[in-house]
Amino acid sequence: MIEVDQLVKRFGDVVAVGGITFRVDEGEVVGFLGPNGAGKSTTLKILTAYQPATSGSVRIAGLDVLTRSLEVRERLGYLPENVPVYPDMRVEEYLRFRALLKGVGRKEVSAAVDSALDRCGCREMRRRMIGKLSKGYRQRVGLADAIVHDPPILILDEPTSGLDPNQRVEVRKLIASLGEDKTVLLSSHILAEVEAVAERVVIVRKGEIVADGRPRELVEGAGGGRHVTVEADGEGASVEGALRAVPGATELVAAETGDGWRRYELSFGEAGDHRLAVAEAVARAGGRVRELTSSTPTLEDLFRRLTVEEAAA
């Protein structure tokens, strides 16, 4: 449905996109993630035929975006990073104009605009001037614009940016419902949100793909497993020895807490509940436990590992 092959985009000396290859199959909802400046918006602009690539190719629904850009745009709904709406138009007037431009028939325009306004929660703003809307409502109008011609493919650049928490939940639901019968590629900085709507994520850093897969599998594949943190007293060396011997433990970091106790962070290669084994190991070594917690790494942890720590290295 969306096929990106060896895509490169340079701006002078700046390599914004360094040769990326990925695909989004029909009906998939894929999150496109990366830190500021990673090349997400640049990639999405090329995918939507708004900007030419330096090299490489993009096919949307089997059509090359360079040579078949008009047909591509009819099949696409695009929410750009900076919603370019006309300040002197009224919301409804703007959406009618956009719907006609995108090939909606004259007879169908009113119904298409009403439905887009409803789905994006901006019906009550239909007669307002766009220039006088709040940022969040402008974003919603941008979303309504993206879906007004009911395209099979949606490309959304940070769809929830500028929205309040309630509206974020609404937009997340909207994306989930659109995802039932559309192909969606969305960029976002809010990882929990992406995890909630996307079945797959592509993570980019400095114009290159550093991960591509299902969030759970990526997290576990990256040595995710589980972490157990325990605060214990007792003789440091023997507690440490006992913890290292807990079956499945792969890594141990010990630190003083400052009040005579020690905090041990233990990683396990396999997911599972390791708390009891940890507590028993401490007891066998003659220590007492005052706190014991277990955590599973999140997509956010993986994202930080892939994009912050490696960048610093």
Ligand X SMILES: Nc1ncnc2c1ncn2[C@@H]1O[C@H](COP(=O)(O)OP(=O)(O)OP(=O)(O)O)[C@@H](O)[C@H]1O
Task: Give the footprint of ligand X on this chain (CB under 6 A).
Answer: 11, 14, 16, 34, 36-42, 81
Shortest Å, Cβ 194 to ligand X: 13
- Map tokens 């409502």 to a residue: 137
The item of ligand X, Mg ion, none sharing an interface with residue 48, based on CB under 5 to 8 Å by kind, is none
Both tokens assigned to 240:
């440490």
Question: Smaller CB distance to ligand X: residue 40 or 73?
Answer: 40
Burial string for 237-271 (b: 16+ CB within 10 Å, else e) reads eebbebbeebeebeeeeeeeeeeebbebebbbeee
Shortest Å, Cβ 41 to ligand X: 3
Shortest Å, Cβ 87 to ligand X: 23
CB of 45 within 8 A of CB of 39?
A: no
CB of 290 within 8 A of CB of 261?
A: yes
235 vs 232: CA distance, rounded Å: 9
CB of 83 within 8 A of CB of 138?
A: yes
CB of 238 within 8 A of CB of 225?
A: no
Q: Does 41 bind Mg ion (CB under 5 A)?
A: yes
Number of residues that bind Mg ion (CB under 5 A): 3
Shortest Å, Cβ 40 to Mg ion: 5
Question: Smaller CB distance to ligand X: residue 39 or 179?
Answer: 39
Site for Mg ion in 58-97 (CB under 5 A): 81
Under DSSP, the state recorded for 51 is: S
The item of ligand X, Mg ion, none sharing an interface with residue 42, based on CB under 5 to 8 Å by kind, is ligand X
3 vs 125: CA distance, rounded Å: 37
**Sheet with strand 226-232: strands edge to edge:** 249-256, 262-268, 226-232, 289-295
Question: Smaller CB distance to ligand X: residue 40 or 96?
Answer: 40
The item of Mg ion, ligand X, none sharing an interface with residue 139, based on CB under 5 to 8 Å by kind, is none
CB-nearest residue to Mg ion: 41
Question: Smaller CB distance to ligand X: residue 36 or 309?
Answer: 36
Shortest Å, Cβ 18 to ligand X: 10
Shortest Å, Cβ 235 to ligand X: 49
Question: Smaller CB distance to ligand X: residue 31 or 34?
Answer: 34
Task: Give contact residues for Mg ion (rule: CB under 5 A).
Answer: 40-41, 81
